[in-house]
Structure 1
Amino acid sequence: MPASTLTTARLTLTPVTPADHPTLLAHWTTPAVREFLFDGKTLTPEEISHTITTSQHTFTTAGHGLWLITTDTFIGTAGLRPLDDLGQEIYYSLTPESRGRGYATEAAGAVIDYALESLSLPAIYGEVDEANTASSAILERLGLTHFATVPGELGPLLRYRRVSRGGRRY
């Protein structure tokens, strides 16, 4: 399957490439960005390279992976990745200066709709640190419902899911 660019009213989501490594490194090593990502750990350059390679592979084999989110400039990432044996999890990150403008909802909504409609996935999952109330609110706005609380390295994780029913929510 070819990699897909997604567009919304304000955003363009493009599949990551090796050329995006410096952008991802700068973004994902920013403390405010990784606060609720990667259990607070700083990814190494090699881990970011692996993420890009994995994304390129899953775009080829499954039609999804990791996208860069841009307006006129880079503002974050959104993607799908496996969540244990449940299915695909939506995850996203925004630059601190782009938060509070609805971009995360818009980008995550585009990825979720693409996954459920274009890829015909049966469900999308989300896993959020209990303290990350902003992300919980985003997932709920996008039609995901809380179904479990599981232990995490830094505290409880809330699990959400949305089953395929069609209809855009952003």
Structure 2
Amino acid sequence: MRPAPARDHAELLAHWTAPEVRRFLFDGAILSPKEITRAIEDSVRSFATAGYGLWLVREAEGTGLVGTAGIRPLDDLGPEVVYSLAPGSCGKGHATEPAFAVVEYALGPLGLPEVLAEIDEGNAASAAVVERLGMAPFETVPGLFGPMTCYRRTR
């Protein structure tokens, strides 16, 4: 894992615009190149000010992008763990391992009191990931495409 730099813009754009990846991300919207630039800039700024942002996930061999993991502010509610996984990378721990590292970092060295996650109804794979992270559901809220379950893990 490493922070997402501007030089990886094209790779991140291809990843986040893949239909299988964005199905439960960004409410299904296709991000523009400008929005990807903004996401990278926001992440760089967040690393500088808060100590967290978006990391790119690659296999040890350094081949293409496997996914992303990170922390971002969830509206005014608190920090949210986020992750995405490239098609063909499911079932290999490429979501759980990086997301677990991010949550441990947030609750440990960063000293955040809690980390949140919002999972769309029907996204059973993501619900399984956050449960493996030790997160527990605490609320169901309306989402753009149906209910979302909110999860939390505290120190």
- TM-score norm. by structure 1 comes to 0.88
* Structure 2 partner of 1:168: none
Q: Hey, what does 1:97 align to over in structure 2?
A: 88
Q: How does 1:15-164 map to 2 (within 5 A)?
A: 15-71=3-59, 72=61, 73=63, 74-164=65-155
CA shift digits 1:31-90 (9 cap, x unpaired): 000000000000000000000000000000111000000112220101111112221000
Equivalents in 1 of 2:134, 2:24: separation in Å? 21
Counterpart CA distance in 2 for 1:88 and 1:117 is 14
Supply the distance in 2 between the matched residues of 1:107 and 1:59 (Cα, whole angstroms). Answer: 17
How far 1:100 moved relative to its partner?
1.1
Q: Which runs of 4+ in 1 moved over 2 A?
A: none
Q: Output the CA distance in 1 between the equivalents of 2:46 and 2:16.
A: 21
Please state how far the C-alpha of 1:130 moved relative to its aligned partner.
Answer: 0.9
> What's the C-alpha RMSD, in Å, of the aligned pairs?
0.7
**Alpha-carbon separation, structure 1, partners of 2:82 and 2:44:** 17
Mapped to 2, the partners of 1:142 and 1:39 lie a distance apart of: 23
Q: What count of residue pairs does the alignment treat as equivalent?
A: 152
Q: Secondary structure at the match of 1:96?
A: coil
User: TM-score by structure 2 length?
Assistant: 0.96
Distance 2:17 2:122 in 1: 20
Uncovered stretches (5+) of structure 2, i.e. residues with no partner: none
Counterpart amino acid of residue 58 in structure 2: T
Corresponding position of 1:8: none
Amino acid at match of 2:121: E
CA distance in 2, matches of 1:139, 1:36: 14
Whole-Å separation in 2 of the counterparts to 1:18 and 1:141: 31
Distance 2:94 2:15 in 1: 16
